[in-house]
Structure 1
Amino acid sequence: MVDCIIQARMGSSRLPGKVLMKVDSKNTILDSMINQLKYSKLIDRTIIATSKKMEDDVIEDFCKKNSLNYFRGSEKDVLDRYYQCAKKFESKIIVRMPADKPLLDPTVVDKVVDEFNKNNYDYITTFLPSTFPSGTEVEIFSFSALEKAWNESNLPSEREHVTPYIHRNPKKFKISNFKNDIDLSKFSWAVDEKDDLSLVQKIVSRVNHEPILINDILTILENEPKIFEINLNVNRNTGNEKSEKEDIEFLKNKENQSE
């Protein structure tokens, strides 16, 4: 069974509450992700993994209202949240999706799932290095790989970002990177900031069918390149920079404790 676990919380540092912000008159970012995933032929279940913080009660309410599977766990230790969620639902293969991808492409998801299954990988991704637009990346791992990472990860970055321990230890896991036919990594329709949401809203308003695929967006790009300039100045590395600082602080404290 292949489960897509979407990590979603209201406490985004750059755009608080973004997961329930509207991409059109009806659908929130979470709605859009769930709708896109319905067109995947290889995803069996979609599960929302949120935190136990009171501010995330609204996400639980959203899940109940829409009859969605959900789990609540640690806010900061997202690796533990994934592990406990996968354990509860007895997930065997996990597709990881942060809730910033309203325009994820279900055909890309299926291609990567298929590649994972054919080759018996522990972990496969599309960003080592990336050749897909930001907002369409895919990560897939086995429950056993997740459990190993959960047991052995110590650094804050490994606990927060779920999979760094796996791709930092290629000798411990069978890893692969799935490449696109052409490099589209310079483009982004992930939602990190308000300008990103504006771009997504413009894209959604120009497509009158579901699902919205990468090729649909590239057609808009070809016809209206100016609208894609709206989010050119968004810093995509803010989260990584914060994690690097936390790792350095963690290692310093560990060193001081051992003296």
Structure 2
Amino acid sequence: MLIFPYAKINLGLQVLRKRPDGYHDIRSVLFPIPLHDALEAVVDDSVPRGEVRFARTGIPVPGDPASDLCLKAVEQVRKLRELPGLRMHLHKAIPTGAGLGGGSSDGAHTLLLLNDLLNIQIPRAQLHPMAAELGSDCPFFLEHAPQLAEGRGEVLSPAEPNLSGHWLVLVNPGIHVPTAEVYGNLQLRSEDADLRELLTAPITSWQGTVVNDMEEYVFAKHPAIGAIKEELLAKGASYAAMSGSGSSVFGVFSKKPVGLRFAKEYGMWVFPALNRR
């Protein structure tokens, strides 16, 4: 069985306060985009029961494959039922450490994949806390539609930013920005703007109001990332922002842009803005 874990961008990212548990309360609208990995799982009788043989291809992922969120999701499922012998293959196309949620999406989609493949019938109400245990933004990838994320990112409610008819340009410069470093150097906001309300305004009014609070630190540390945002705006984007803690930057255009050029080592994708995956 094959599934396609998709990426996300953040429409605004407000970091509100640090919590007693060490996390931060945030508010952000997470928006699905048609950039995806491919994840396949099959039951293989030649593999001993309970064993999972996992392979990764595509974009290299740093770290030990044993720590991959796909395998951590397998262990979540193992708590509920005995597993047959499985083979899993993850092909990475979403850049890692890029603010696009690729690893979180892989973990959440592993839960969905095994639920269907093994006919476990885990209800959605149970999948959500399982995903939240994997990571703060993992529950979003169970929803397949824009969501307002609050708490540490796991408290979700539907959001409907209207990007109908618009195009997204996503640029990734390949700069790794550690999320913990960004959180550790943030100036927390002093005002609490209603992000959902801000996103009901015309897209042309978003710039300067729908803000990613992480940009100030990241752009100062890595000016090349801020330069991408400025270039997208200069080329006609109605709105541009960094996604998550970076380093990916996206622009929203009213029509399909042509003639965009960035450094050859940068990744760039152009696709229509769709509210569902």
TM-score > 0.5, shorter chain as reference:
no
Larger Rg: 2
Structure 1 or 2: larger helix share? 1
Structure 1 or 2: larger strand share? 2
**TM-score normalised to the size of structure 1?**
0.29
Q: Which has the bigger relative contact order, CA under 8 A and spacing at least 6? A: 2
